[in-house]
Structure 1
Amino acid sequence: MKKEEYTVWRNPRGNGLLHDGESVTPPEGWEFVPSGDAGLTRRLKMAGECWVMVHRRRNRIEAVGLWTSARRAAAVRAELELERRDPARQRRLEADKRRREAKQAAYTVEFRNAVAAYLHFAERWSGLEAKLAAAVTEHAVPVGSGTVARTQRIPLERRAEAAVIAWMRHRTTAYDHMRIARVKGERREVRRQLAERSRRLLERYRSGEEADLRNCPLAQALGESGEA
Protein backbone atom coordinates (compact mmCIF):
# COMPACT_ATOMS: atom_id res chain seq x y z
CA MET A 1 0.00 0.00 0.00
CA LYS A 2 1.33 3.43 -0.90
CA LYS A 3 2.03 5.70 2.05
CA GLU A 4 -0.20 8.48 0.67
CA GLU A 5 -3.11 5.99 0.54
CA TYR A 6 -2.80 5.09 4.21
CA THR A 7 -5.49 7.35 5.64
CA VAL A 8 -6.87 7.45 9.17
CA TRP A 9 -10.03 8.90 10.65
CA ARG A 10 -10.90 10.01 14.14
CA ASN A 11 -12.91 7.29 15.86
CA PRO A 12 -16.35 8.81 16.57
CA ARG A 13 -16.88 6.32 19.41
CA GLY A 14 -13.60 6.89 21.20
CA ASN A 15 -10.33 8.78 21.30
CA GLY A 16 -8.45 6.53 18.90
CA LEU A 17 -8.12 6.42 15.14
CA LEU A 18 -9.66 4.24 12.44
CA HIS A 19 -8.13 2.76 9.30
CA ASP A 20 -10.33 0.70 6.98
CA GLY A 21 -12.84 0.49 9.81
CA GLU A 22 -10.37 -0.93 12.32
CA SER A 23 -8.93 0.82 15.38
CA VAL A 24 -5.27 1.78 15.02
CA THR A 25 -2.72 3.49 17.26
CA PRO A 26 0.15 5.62 15.93
CA PRO A 27 3.57 4.02 16.44
CA GLU A 28 5.53 5.06 19.50
CA GLY A 29 7.44 8.29 18.94
CA TRP A 30 5.02 9.65 16.37
CA GLU A 31 3.31 13.04 16.54
CA PHE A 32 0.45 14.78 14.75
CA VAL A 33 1.44 17.58 12.35
CA PRO A 34 -1.61 19.68 11.39
CA SER A 35 -2.16 20.88 7.83
CA GLY A 36 -1.35 24.47 6.98
CA ASP A 37 2.28 24.38 5.86
CA ALA A 38 2.24 22.85 2.38
CA GLY A 39 6.03 22.76 2.16
CA LEU A 40 6.36 20.88 5.44
CA THR A 41 3.60 18.44 4.52
CA ARG A 42 5.18 17.72 1.15
CA ARG A 43 8.62 17.11 2.69
CA LEU A 44 7.23 14.84 5.38
CA LYS A 45 5.40 12.70 2.83
CA MET A 46 8.63 12.32 0.90
CA ALA A 47 10.78 11.68 3.99
CA GLY A 48 9.22 8.43 5.13
CA GLU A 49 6.15 6.62 6.38
CA CYS A 50 3.26 8.77 7.54
CA TRP A 51 -0.48 8.52 8.03
CA VAL A 52 -2.72 11.08 6.39
CA MET A 53 -5.51 12.03 8.77
CA VAL A 54 -8.73 13.08 7.04
CA HIS A 55 -12.29 14.06 7.79
CA ARG A 56 -15.41 14.62 5.71
CA ARG A 57 -16.44 18.19 5.01
CA ARG A 58 -19.74 18.49 3.21
CA ASN A 59 -19.39 16.14 0.26
CA ARG A 60 -15.63 15.82 0.09
CA ILE A 61 -12.77 14.32 2.03
CA GLU A 62 -10.14 16.74 3.36
CA ALA A 63 -6.75 16.09 4.92
CA VAL A 64 -6.35 17.76 8.31
CA GLY A 65 -2.78 16.70 9.01
CA LEU A 66 -0.22 13.92 9.22
CA TRP A 67 0.89 11.41 11.80
CA THR A 68 4.62 10.81 11.44
CA SER A 69 7.83 10.29 13.37
CA ALA A 70 8.44 13.17 15.78
CA ARG A 71 12.19 12.91 15.20
CA ARG A 72 11.73 13.04 11.43
CA ALA A 73 9.32 15.97 11.72
CA ALA A 74 11.81 17.92 13.86
CA ALA A 75 14.60 17.32 11.35
CA VAL A 76 12.47 18.39 8.39
CA ARG A 77 11.28 21.50 10.22
CA ALA A 78 14.88 22.49 11.00
CA GLU A 79 15.91 21.93 7.39
CA LEU A 80 13.03 24.04 6.10
CA GLU A 81 13.74 26.81 8.60
CA LEU A 82 17.31 27.15 7.33
CA GLU A 83 16.14 27.25 3.73
CA ARG A 84 13.46 29.83 4.45
CA ARG A 85 15.95 32.14 6.13
CA ASP A 86 18.11 32.22 3.01
CA PRO A 87 17.93 35.78 1.53
CA ALA A 88 18.22 34.36 -1.98
CA ARG A 89 15.10 32.28 -1.39
CA GLN A 90 13.21 35.32 -0.18
CA ARG A 91 14.19 37.22 -3.32
CA ARG A 92 12.96 34.34 -5.48
CA LEU A 93 9.67 34.21 -3.60
CA GLU A 94 9.15 37.95 -4.02
CA ALA A 95 9.94 37.72 -7.72
CA ASP A 96 7.53 34.81 -8.11
CA LYS A 97 4.85 36.74 -6.25
CA ARG A 98 5.26 39.77 -8.53
CA ARG A 99 5.00 37.54 -11.60
CA ARG A 100 1.83 35.90 -10.29
CA GLU A 101 0.29 39.27 -9.47
CA ALA A 102 1.15 40.64 -12.91
CA LYS A 103 -0.29 37.54 -14.57
CA GLN A 104 -3.45 37.77 -12.49
CA ALA A 105 -3.86 41.48 -13.28
CA ALA A 106 -3.47 40.80 -17.00
CA TYR A 107 -5.99 37.96 -16.87
CA THR A 108 -8.46 40.12 -14.97
CA VAL A 109 -8.39 42.73 -17.75
CA GLU A 110 -8.55 40.04 -20.44
CA PHE A 111 -11.50 38.32 -18.78
CA ARG A 112 -13.41 41.56 -18.18
CA ASN A 113 -12.99 42.45 -21.85
CA ALA A 114 -14.25 38.99 -22.83
CA VAL A 115 -17.30 39.42 -20.61
CA ALA A 116 -18.02 42.84 -22.11
CA ALA A 117 -17.67 41.37 -25.61
CA TYR A 118 -20.18 38.65 -24.73
CA LEU A 119 -22.64 41.14 -23.26
CA HIS A 120 -22.37 43.60 -26.19
CA PHE A 121 -25.14 45.86 -24.88
CA ALA A 122 -26.51 48.70 -27.00
CA GLU A 123 -24.80 52.06 -26.53
CA ARG A 124 -27.57 53.40 -24.31
CA TRP A 125 -26.90 50.57 -21.85
CA SER A 126 -23.09 50.73 -21.97
CA GLY A 127 -22.95 51.85 -18.34
CA LEU A 128 -24.93 48.81 -17.23
CA GLU A 129 -22.69 46.60 -19.36
CA ALA A 130 -19.58 47.98 -17.66
CA LYS A 131 -21.01 47.42 -14.19
CA LEU A 132 -22.07 43.87 -14.99
CA ALA A 133 -18.72 43.02 -16.57
CA ALA A 134 -16.92 44.35 -13.49
CA ALA A 135 -19.20 42.48 -11.07
CA VAL A 136 -18.87 39.16 -12.90
CA THR A 137 -15.10 39.55 -13.17
CA GLU A 138 -14.69 40.44 -9.49
CA HIS A 139 -16.59 37.29 -8.54
CA ALA A 140 -15.07 34.89 -11.06
CA VAL A 141 -11.36 35.56 -11.51
CA PRO A 142 -9.79 35.41 -8.01
CA VAL A 143 -7.31 32.57 -7.66
CA GLY A 144 -8.93 29.72 -5.76
CA SER A 145 -12.48 30.88 -6.52
CA GLY A 146 -13.24 27.55 -8.17
CA THR A 147 -15.35 29.23 -10.85
CA VAL A 148 -15.41 28.47 -14.55
CA ALA A 149 -13.20 31.52 -15.13
CA ARG A 150 -10.25 29.63 -13.61
CA THR A 151 -10.38 26.67 -15.97
CA GLN A 152 -8.23 26.38 -19.09
CA ARG A 153 -10.26 23.53 -20.54
CA ILE A 154 -12.63 25.76 -22.53
CA PRO A 155 -11.99 28.90 -24.63
CA LEU A 156 -12.03 32.31 -22.95
CA GLU A 157 -15.22 33.33 -24.75
CA ARG A 158 -17.11 30.33 -23.35
CA ARG A 159 -15.67 30.97 -19.88
CA ALA A 160 -16.98 34.53 -20.04
CA GLU A 161 -20.46 33.43 -21.11
CA ALA A 162 -20.64 30.71 -18.45
CA ALA A 163 -19.49 33.14 -15.75
CA VAL A 164 -22.17 35.69 -16.70
CA ILE A 165 -24.92 33.06 -16.68
CA ALA A 166 -23.72 31.67 -13.34
CA TRP A 167 -23.58 35.14 -11.79
CA MET A 168 -27.08 35.94 -13.01
CA ARG A 169 -28.40 32.60 -11.77
CA HIS A 170 -27.32 33.42 -8.24
CA ARG A 171 -27.99 37.17 -8.28
CA THR A 172 -31.11 37.66 -10.43
CA THR A 173 -33.12 34.47 -9.82
CA ALA A 174 -34.41 32.55 -6.83
CA TYR A 175 -32.12 29.60 -7.59
CA ASP A 176 -30.29 29.68 -4.24
CA HIS A 177 -33.59 29.30 -2.38
CA MET A 178 -35.33 26.80 -4.65
CA ARG A 179 -36.38 23.39 -3.38
CA ILE A 180 -35.30 21.14 -6.24
CA ALA A 181 -36.41 17.52 -6.27
CA ARG A 182 -33.60 15.00 -5.93
CA VAL A 183 -34.32 13.46 -9.30
CA LYS A 184 -31.58 12.73 -11.78
CA GLY A 185 -31.28 15.60 -14.22
CA GLU A 186 -33.73 17.87 -12.38
CA ARG A 187 -31.15 20.40 -11.18
CA ARG A 188 -29.57 20.49 -14.63
CA GLU A 189 -32.97 21.20 -16.18
CA VAL A 190 -33.70 23.99 -13.70
CA ARG A 191 -30.34 25.58 -14.46
CA ARG A 192 -31.00 25.30 -18.19
CA GLN A 193 -34.35 27.07 -17.84
CA LEU A 194 -32.86 29.84 -15.71
CA ALA A 195 -30.02 30.26 -18.21
CA GLU A 196 -32.52 30.76 -21.02
CA ARG A 197 -34.35 33.34 -18.94
CA SER A 198 -31.07 35.16 -18.31
CA ARG A 199 -30.16 35.11 -21.99
CA ARG A 200 -33.55 36.62 -22.92
CA LEU A 201 -32.99 39.38 -20.36
CA LEU A 202 -29.52 40.12 -21.75
CA GLU A 203 -30.93 40.25 -25.28
CA ARG A 204 -33.22 43.12 -24.29
CA TYR A 205 -30.21 45.24 -23.39
CA ARG A 206 -28.37 44.19 -26.55
CA SER A 207 -31.30 45.32 -28.68
CA GLY A 208 -31.41 48.74 -27.00
CA GLU A 209 -35.10 48.58 -26.13
CA GLU A 210 -36.62 50.44 -23.22
CA ALA A 211 -36.22 48.92 -19.78
CA ASP A 212 -37.74 49.69 -16.40
CA LEU A 213 -34.62 49.50 -14.26
CA ARG A 214 -36.65 49.76 -11.05
CA ASN A 215 -38.26 46.40 -11.81
CA CYS A 216 -35.41 44.70 -13.64
CA PRO A 217 -33.70 41.97 -11.56
CA LEU A 218 -30.39 42.60 -13.31
CA ALA A 219 -30.46 46.33 -12.67
CA GLN A 220 -31.49 45.74 -9.06
CA ALA A 221 -28.64 43.28 -8.54
CA LEU A 222 -26.22 45.93 -9.81
CA GLY A 223 -27.73 48.71 -7.69
CA GLU A 224 -29.24 50.60 -10.62
CA SER A 225 -32.42 52.57 -9.99
CA GLY A 226 -32.71 54.79 -13.04
CA GLU A 227 -31.92 54.74 -16.72
CA ALA A 228 -28.25 54.34 -17.68
Structure 2
Amino acid sequence: MPSDPCYAPGPRDRTVRHPDGRVIAVPEGWALLPPGDAGLTRKVKSLGDAWTVKEKRGRRMFSRGVWADAAQIETARELVEAQRASPAHQRKLDAGRRRREKAQAAYVVEFRSTVRRFLSFHPTHRDLEAKMAEAIATHATPVGSGTVARTQRISVERRAEAATIAWMRHQTTAYDHMHIPRVKGKRREVRRMLAERSRALLKRYRTGAPADPSDPLQTALSDAPEATRHRAPVPAVPPSTLSPQSDHEAAQREKYEQVRARLAARTSRRRK
Protein backbone atom coordinates (compact mmCIF):
# COMPACT_ATOMS: atom_id res chain seq x y z
CA MET A 1 0.00 0.00 0.00
CA PRO A 2 1.58 3.34 -1.01
CA SER A 3 2.30 5.83 1.74
CA ASP A 4 1.44 8.93 -0.30
CA PRO A 5 -2.32 9.22 0.45
CA CYS A 6 -3.41 10.98 3.60
CA TYR A 7 -5.95 8.84 5.42
CA ALA A 8 -8.77 9.78 7.76
CA PRO A 9 -9.62 7.86 10.94
CA GLY A 10 -11.76 4.82 10.23
CA PRO A 11 -15.13 3.98 11.79
CA ARG A 12 -13.65 1.13 13.85
CA ASP A 13 -10.50 0.46 15.81
CA ARG A 14 -7.43 -0.20 13.64
CA THR A 15 -9.11 1.05 10.47
CA VAL A 16 -8.50 4.08 8.26
CA ARG A 17 -10.54 5.71 5.53
CA HIS A 18 -8.88 6.12 2.12
CA PRO A 19 -9.40 9.45 0.29
CA ASP A 20 -11.71 7.61 -2.14
CA GLY A 21 -13.96 6.57 0.78
CA ARG A 22 -12.85 2.96 1.22
CA VAL A 23 -12.39 1.69 4.77
CA ILE A 24 -9.10 -0.20 5.09
CA ALA A 25 -7.94 -2.38 7.97
CA VAL A 26 -4.51 -1.64 9.39
CA PRO A 27 -2.10 -4.54 8.68
CA GLU A 28 -1.20 -6.90 11.49
CA GLY A 29 1.98 -5.95 13.29
CA TRP A 30 1.53 -2.24 12.64
CA ALA A 31 1.37 0.32 15.44
CA LEU A 32 0.23 3.93 15.63
CA LEU A 33 2.96 6.50 16.23
CA PRO A 34 1.28 9.47 18.00
CA PRO A 35 1.88 12.98 16.63
CA GLY A 36 4.23 15.38 18.35
CA ASP A 37 7.75 14.36 17.29
CA ALA A 38 8.34 15.57 13.75
CA GLY A 39 11.88 14.17 13.57
CA LEU A 40 10.77 10.69 14.59
CA THR A 41 7.83 10.80 12.18
CA ARG A 42 10.11 11.72 9.27
CA LYS A 43 12.49 8.90 10.16
CA VAL A 44 9.66 6.34 10.31
CA LYS A 45 8.42 7.41 6.88
CA SER A 46 11.92 7.21 5.43
CA LEU A 47 12.32 3.57 6.50
CA GLY A 48 9.31 2.13 4.70
CA ASP A 49 5.56 2.22 4.21
CA ALA A 50 3.62 4.46 6.57
CA TRP A 51 0.06 5.75 6.59
CA THR A 52 -0.43 9.33 7.71
CA VAL A 53 -3.76 9.90 9.45
CA LYS A 54 -5.34 13.34 9.64
CA GLU A 55 -8.78 14.45 10.77
CA LYS A 56 -10.61 17.58 9.67
CA ARG A 57 -12.36 19.54 12.39
CA GLY A 58 -14.13 22.58 11.03
CA ARG A 59 -11.66 24.31 8.75
CA ARG A 60 -8.57 22.84 10.38
CA MET A 61 -6.73 19.57 9.88
CA PHE A 62 -5.36 17.73 12.91
CA SER A 63 -2.74 15.00 12.79
CA ARG A 64 -3.77 11.73 14.41
CA GLY A 65 -0.40 10.05 13.96
CA VAL A 66 1.23 7.60 11.57
CA TRP A 67 0.54 3.89 11.18
CA ALA A 68 3.65 1.83 10.40
CA ASP A 69 5.24 -1.51 11.18
CA ALA A 70 5.96 -1.69 14.92
CA ALA A 71 9.53 -2.87 14.30
CA GLN A 72 10.02 -0.01 11.86
CA ILE A 73 8.90 2.49 14.51
CA GLU A 74 11.27 1.01 17.10
CA THR A 75 14.18 1.11 14.65
CA ALA A 76 13.41 4.72 13.82
CA ARG A 77 13.20 5.61 17.51
CA GLU A 78 16.61 4.04 18.21
CA LEU A 79 18.20 5.86 15.27
CA VAL A 80 16.72 9.21 16.30
CA GLU A 81 17.75 8.78 19.94
CA ALA A 82 21.30 7.91 18.91
CA GLN A 83 21.45 10.92 16.63
CA ARG A 84 20.11 13.27 19.28
CA ALA A 85 22.61 11.97 21.84
CA SER A 86 25.60 12.76 19.62
CA PRO A 87 27.73 15.85 20.42
CA ALA A 88 27.29 17.09 16.85
CA HIS A 89 23.52 17.16 17.25
CA GLN A 90 23.80 19.03 20.54
CA ARG A 91 26.07 21.60 18.92
CA LYS A 92 23.53 22.00 16.13
CA LEU A 93 20.73 22.53 18.66
CA ASP A 94 22.81 25.06 20.60
CA ALA A 95 23.64 26.95 17.41
CA GLY A 96 19.97 27.04 16.42
CA ARG A 97 18.99 28.25 19.88
CA ARG A 98 21.55 31.05 19.77
CA ARG A 99 20.41 32.03 16.29
CA ARG A 100 16.78 32.24 17.40
CA GLU A 101 17.67 34.22 20.52
CA LYS A 102 19.68 36.67 18.42
CA ALA A 103 16.82 37.05 15.93
CA GLN A 104 14.34 37.55 18.78
CA ALA A 105 16.50 40.22 20.42
CA ALA A 106 16.83 42.05 17.11
CA TYR A 107 13.07 41.87 16.54
CA VAL A 108 12.32 43.29 19.99
CA VAL A 109 14.56 46.28 19.23
CA GLU A 110 12.97 46.75 15.80
CA PHE A 111 9.44 46.44 17.16
CA ARG A 112 10.08 48.86 20.02
CA SER A 113 11.52 51.41 17.59
CA THR A 114 8.54 50.96 15.27
CA VAL A 115 6.13 51.53 18.17
CA ARG A 116 7.97 54.74 19.02
CA ARG A 117 7.67 55.92 15.43
CA PHE A 118 3.94 55.22 15.56
CA LEU A 119 3.53 57.05 18.88
CA SER A 120 5.61 60.04 17.74
CA PHE A 121 4.93 62.06 20.91
CA HIS A 122 5.81 65.73 21.26
CA PRO A 123 9.41 66.28 22.50
CA THR A 124 8.05 67.21 25.93
CA HIS A 125 6.62 63.69 26.26
CA ARG A 126 9.53 61.68 24.83
CA ASP A 127 10.25 59.99 28.17
CA LEU A 128 6.66 58.79 28.33
CA GLU A 129 6.91 57.64 24.72
CA ALA A 130 9.98 55.52 25.50
CA LYS A 131 8.36 54.03 28.60
CA MET A 132 5.16 53.20 26.73
CA ALA A 133 7.02 51.61 23.82
CA GLU A 134 9.03 49.49 26.25
CA ALA A 135 5.86 48.32 28.03
CA ILE A 136 4.13 47.42 24.75
CA ALA A 137 7.17 45.59 23.37
CA THR A 138 7.66 43.68 26.63
CA HIS A 139 4.05 42.51 26.52
CA ALA A 140 3.67 41.81 22.81
CA THR A 141 6.96 40.38 21.52
CA PRO A 142 7.65 37.19 23.54
CA VAL A 143 7.67 34.04 21.42
CA GLY A 144 4.43 32.14 21.88
CA SER A 145 2.55 35.14 23.29
CA GLY A 146 -0.04 34.89 20.52
CA THR A 147 -0.24 38.67 20.15
CA VAL A 148 -0.50 40.57 16.89
CA ALA A 149 3.20 41.41 17.18
CA ARG A 150 4.06 37.77 16.39
CA THR A 151 2.13 37.54 13.13
CA GLN A 152 3.91 37.63 9.78
CA ARG A 153 0.79 38.42 7.77
CA ILE A 154 1.08 42.20 8.09
CA SER A 155 3.95 44.67 8.08
CA VAL A 156 5.79 45.52 11.28
CA GLU A 157 4.32 49.04 11.09
CA ARG A 158 0.77 47.68 11.16
CA ARG A 159 1.75 45.25 13.90
CA ALA A 160 3.08 48.10 16.02
CA GLU A 161 -0.09 50.15 15.56
CA ALA A 162 -2.40 47.21 16.31
CA ALA A 163 -0.36 46.18 19.36
CA THR A 164 -0.43 49.74 20.70
CA ILE A 165 -4.20 50.04 20.35
CA ALA A 166 -4.70 46.60 21.91
CA TRP A 167 -2.41 47.46 24.83
CA MET A 168 -4.26 50.72 25.43
CA ARG A 169 -7.62 48.96 25.24
CA HIS A 170 -6.64 46.70 28.14
CA GLN A 171 -4.54 49.19 30.11
CA THR A 172 -6.37 52.52 29.79
CA THR A 173 -10.04 51.56 29.41
CA ALA A 174 -12.61 49.49 31.28
CA TYR A 175 -12.76 46.94 28.44
CA ASP A 176 -11.67 43.99 30.59
CA HIS A 177 -14.51 44.66 33.04
CA MET A 178 -17.29 45.50 30.59
CA HIS A 179 -20.39 43.38 30.26
CA ILE A 180 -20.83 43.34 26.49
CA PRO A 181 -24.15 41.97 25.18
CA ARG A 182 -23.82 38.81 23.13
CA VAL A 183 -25.07 40.49 19.98
CA LYS A 184 -23.29 39.82 16.71
CA GLY A 185 -20.82 42.61 16.01
CA LYS A 186 -21.24 44.28 19.40
CA ARG A 187 -17.77 43.42 20.71
CA ARG A 188 -16.24 44.66 17.46
CA GLU A 189 -18.24 47.87 17.79
CA VAL A 190 -17.01 48.44 21.35
CA ARG A 191 -13.43 47.80 20.27
CA ARG A 192 -13.74 50.34 17.46
CA MET A 193 -15.17 52.91 19.84
CA LEU A 194 -12.38 52.37 22.36
CA ALA A 195 -9.77 52.47 19.58
CA GLU A 196 -10.99 55.92 18.56
CA ARG A 197 -10.70 57.09 22.15
CA SER A 198 -7.18 55.66 22.35
CA ARG A 199 -6.20 57.51 19.18
CA ALA A 200 -7.68 60.71 20.59
CA LEU A 201 -5.60 60.23 23.74
CA LEU A 202 -2.46 59.67 21.67
CA LYS A 203 -3.18 62.83 19.70
CA ARG A 204 -3.01 64.88 22.90
CA TYR A 205 0.52 63.68 23.56
CA ARG A 206 1.53 64.20 19.95
CA THR A 207 0.42 67.82 20.07
CA GLY A 208 2.23 68.53 23.34
CA ALA A 209 -0.80 68.97 25.61
CA PRO A 210 0.12 69.11 29.31
CA ALA A 211 0.17 65.73 31.04
CA ASP A 212 -2.54 65.05 33.60
CA PRO A 213 -1.50 62.79 36.52
CA SER A 214 -5.01 61.28 36.53
CA ASP A 215 -4.75 60.46 32.83
CA PRO A 216 -5.34 56.68 32.33
CA LEU A 217 -2.14 56.43 30.30
CA GLN A 218 -0.14 58.03 33.10
CA THR A 219 -1.74 55.61 35.56
CA ALA A 220 -0.99 52.58 33.39
CA LEU A 221 2.66 53.56 33.02
CA SER A 222 3.21 54.73 36.59
CA ASP A 223 4.78 51.40 37.52
CA ALA A 224 5.81 49.88 34.18
CA PRO A 225 6.69 47.17 33.35
CA GLU A 226 4.78 45.81 36.35
CA ALA A 227 1.74 47.66 35.10
CA THR A 228 1.88 45.54 31.98
CA ARG A 229 1.77 42.30 33.91
CA HIS A 230 -0.56 43.33 36.74
CA ARG A 231 -3.30 45.65 35.64
CA ALA A 232 -5.00 47.67 38.32
CA PRO A 233 -8.76 47.00 38.56
CA VAL A 234 -10.84 49.44 36.57
CA PRO A 235 -14.44 50.13 37.61
CA ALA A 236 -16.88 48.25 35.44
CA VAL A 237 -18.61 50.48 32.93
CA PRO A 238 -21.60 49.09 31.02
CA PRO A 239 -21.39 49.78 27.28
CA SER A 240 -24.70 51.64 27.45
CA THR A 241 -23.07 54.34 29.61
CA LEU A 242 -20.32 55.07 27.10
CA SER A 243 -21.21 58.33 25.46
CA PRO A 244 -20.28 58.56 21.76
CA GLN A 245 -17.13 60.54 21.03
CA SER A 246 -17.63 60.96 17.27
CA ASP A 247 -20.24 60.87 14.52
CA HIS A 248 -19.10 57.36 13.66
CA GLU A 249 -19.61 56.16 17.22
CA ALA A 250 -23.02 57.84 17.36
CA ALA A 251 -24.06 56.06 14.17
CA GLN A 252 -22.83 52.73 15.50
CA ARG A 253 -24.67 53.31 18.77
CA GLU A 254 -27.89 54.13 16.90
CA LYS A 255 -27.62 50.96 14.80
CA TYR A 256 -27.10 48.88 17.91
CA GLU A 257 -30.12 50.40 19.65
CA GLN A 258 -32.25 49.70 16.57
CA VAL A 259 -31.16 46.06 16.50
CA ARG A 260 -31.84 45.70 20.21
CA ALA A 261 -35.30 47.22 19.81
CA ARG A 262 -36.15 44.84 16.96
CA LEU A 263 -34.98 41.84 19.00
CA ALA A 264 -37.04 42.96 21.98
CA ALA A 265 -40.13 43.42 19.80
CA ARG A 266 -39.66 40.00 18.22
CA THR A 267 -39.31 38.36 21.64
CA SER A 268 -42.43 40.12 22.86
CA ARG A 269 -44.48 38.90 19.88
CA ARG A 270 -43.32 35.32 20.43
CA ARG A 271 -44.38 35.41 24.07
CA LYS A 272 -47.86 36.57 23.07
Smaller-chain TM-score bracket:
0.7 to 0.9
Displacement of 1:68 after TM fit?
A: 3.5
CA distance in 2, matches of 1:26, 1:172: 58
CA distance in 1, matches of 2:104, 2:173: 30
Displacement of 1:79 after TM fit?
A: 1.7
Q: Deviation string for 1:77-117 (max 9, x for gaps)?
A: 12212222232222222122212211111111111111112
Q: How does 1:111-150 map to 2 (within 5 A)?
A: 111-150=111-150
State the match for 1:219 in structure 2.
218
DSSP 3-state at the match of 2:113: helix
Q: Deviation string for 1:126-148 (max 9, x for gaps)?
A: 33322221121122222333333
Displacement of 1:224 after TM fit?
A: 4.9
CA distance in 2, matches of 1:54, 1:221: 45
Q: Deviation string for 1:49-89 (max 9, x for gaps)?
A: 22436586x98554364443322211211221222223222
Q: Which runs of 5+ in 2 are unaligned?
A: 225-272
CA distance in 2, matches of 1:25, 1:219: 66
Displacement of 1:122 after TM fit?
A: 2.7
**TM-score normalised by length of structure 2:** 0.64
Larger radius of gyration: 2
State the match for 1:209 in structure 2.
209
Q: Is 2:195 the counterpart of 1:195?
A: yes
DSSP 3-state at the match of 1:195: helix
Asked whether the equivalents of residues 213 and 224 of structure 1 are also in contact (C-alpha less than 8 Å), the reply is: no
**TM-score normalised by length of structure 1:** 0.74
State the match for 1:48 in structure 2.
49
CA distance in 1, matches of 2:205, 2:139: 22
State the match for 1:182 in structure 2.
184
CA distance in 2, matches of 1:68, 1:153: 37
Q: 1:24 to 1:196 in 2, by over 3 A?
A: farther
What is the number of residues matched between the two proteins?
Answer: 218
Q: 1:82 to 1:18 in 2, by over 3 A?
A: closer
Asked whether the equivalents of residues 44 and 73 of structure 2 are also in contact (C-alpha less than 8 Å), the reply is: yes
Q: 1:34 to 1:171 in 2, by over 3 A?
A: farther
CA distance in 1, matches of 2:61, 2:170: 26
Q: 1:35 to 1:179 in 2, by over 3 A?
A: farther
Asked whether the equivalents of residues 148 and 162 of structure 2 are also in contact (C-alpha less than 8 Å), the reply is: yes
